[in-house]
């Protein structure tokens, strides 16, 4: 379970999150919708521990433990996973090498034994097949020259290998055509489980047709403005964010 309490975040002088509260229970899929520039990506970066954000107040609890003081890789090992809006290219590093390094780094920091190559290969073959990822792609440098859809699928592949407790999807639908969107969504749905929760950040209802949320939160001006069920997303699709933005920003 993830609990965000009274979170205030600034970048330099600019206040981005202004007392945000949010709880996502185990097994729950929560969607956050909201206009551009409202702090949705900031929220995902602050949870996962990116540098450059000043948290002035509040806490982020993962199963009751405040993770704000931890390094990004420590949070990852505890089960925080972020699927990036723009997955990053790492030239010269074979995707397979990267995946194995990541899986084993997390196992090490949890005090588990590292996976040996045959076991790892078995794991990755199964996971890749499910996502329609060709094994040849795993020999290429990570995300270098991948299409938008391939990059997103690669992120979901990482999520299925790393088996996080809490997965954040940051506008995973951006830049995806309808087929890619379906494959990615199926990948996420396959990972839904009673002890794993998700935070799905999106502008559009479309993604939520594929990944059905339990709860929908409307975010604007650095905090959650309204919380409801899936019907709230449909409502927003009609009325837009006007009611939440207030005066033109």
Partner 1 sequence: MAARQETVARVEEIDVDAYKYGFTTDIESEKAPKGLSEDIVRFISAKKNEPEWLTEWRLEAYRRWLTMEEPKWARVDYPAIDYQDLYYYSAPKSTPGPKSLDEVDPELLRTYEKLGIPLREQEALAGVEQRKVAVDAVFDSVSVATTFREELSKVGVIFCPISEAVREHPELVRKYLGSVVPVTDNFYATLNSAVFSDGSFVYIPPGVRCPMELSTYFRINEKNTGQFERTLIIADAGSYVSYLEGCTAPKRDENQLHAAVVELVALDDAEIKYSTVQNWYPGDSEGKGGIYNFVTKRGDCRGKNSHISWTQVETGSAVTWKYPSCILRGDNSQGEFYSIAVSNGYQQVDSGTKMIHLGKNTKSRIISKGISAGHSQNTYRGQVSAHRKAEGARNFTNCDSLLIGDKCGAHTVPYLESKNASAVFEHEATTSKISEDQLFYCMQRGLSEEEATALIVNGFVRDVLQKLPMEFAVEAQKLIAVSLEGSVG
For partner 1, give the closer residue by CB, 106 or 215. 106
For partner 1, give the closer residue by CB, 22 or 157. 157
Q: How far is the CB of 231 from partner 1 (least distance, A)?
A: 33
CA-based nearest residue to 123, from 96, 88, 150: 96
Q: How far is the CB of 78 from partner 1 (least distance, A)?
A: 10
For partner 1, give the closer residue by CB, 25 or 108. 108
For partner 1, give the closer residue by CB, 90 or 234. 90
Decide: 200 and 169 in contact? Cβ < 8 Å. Answer: yes
For partner 1, give the closer residue by CB, 55 or 61. 55
CA-based nearest residue to 219, from 14, 76, 37: 37
Q: How far is the CB of 167 from partner 1 (least distance, A)?
A: 12
Decide: 83 and 172 in contact? Cβ < 8 Å. Answer: yes
Q: How far is the CB of 180 from partner 1 (least distance, A)?
A: 20
CA-based nearest residue to 202, from 12, 34, 83, 81: 34
Which whole-number Å values give the CA distances from 235 to 102, 171, 179, in the listed order? 40, 19, 25
The residues that touch partner 1, with contacts defined as CB under 8 A, are: 12, 48-52, 54, 71-73, 76-77, 80-82, 84, 87-93, 97-98, 101-103, 105-106, 109, 141, 158, 162
Which structure tokens are listed for 182?
A: 């379906």
Q: How far is the CB of 93 from partner 1 (least distance, A)?
A: 4
- Strands (DSSP E) contained in 89-204 are 90-94, 141-142, 166-170, 197-202
Q: How far is the CB of 134 from partner 1 (least distance, A)?
A: 21
Decide: 165 and 197 in contact? Cβ < 8 Å. Answer: yes
For partner 1, give the closer residue by CB, 103 or 218. 103
């Amino acid at each position: 379970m993830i609990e965000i309490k009274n979170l205030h975040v600034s970048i330099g002088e600019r206040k981005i999150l202004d007392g945000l509260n949010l709880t996502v229970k185990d097994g729950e899929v929560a969607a956050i919708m909201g206009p551009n520039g409202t702090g949705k990506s900031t929220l995902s970066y602050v949870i996962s521990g990116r540098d450059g954000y000043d948290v002035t107040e509040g806490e982020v609890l993962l199963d009751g433990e405040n993770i704000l003081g931890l390094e990004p890789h420590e949070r990852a090992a505890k089960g925080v996973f972020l699927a990036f809006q723009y997955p990053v290219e790492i030239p010269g590093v074979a995707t397979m090498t990267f995946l194995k390094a990541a899986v084993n780094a997390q196992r090490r920091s949890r005090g588990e034994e590292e996976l040996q190559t045959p076991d790892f290969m078995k794991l990755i073959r199964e996971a890749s097949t499910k996502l329609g990822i060709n094994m040849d792609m795993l020999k290429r440098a990570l995300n270098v020259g991948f299409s938008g859809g391939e990059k997103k699928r690669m992120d979901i592949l990482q999520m299925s290998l790393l088996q996080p407790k809490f997965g954040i999807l940051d506008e995973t639908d951006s830049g995806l055509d309808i087929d890619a969107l379906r494959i990615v969504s199926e990948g996420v749905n396959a990972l839904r489980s009673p002890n794993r929760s998700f935070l799905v950040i999106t502008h559009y209802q479309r993604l939520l047709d594929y990944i059905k949320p339990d709860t929908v939160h409307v975010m604007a001006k650095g905090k959650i403005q309204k919380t409801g069920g899936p019907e709230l997303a449909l409502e927003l699709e009609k009325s837009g964010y006007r009611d939440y933005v207030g005066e033109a920003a």
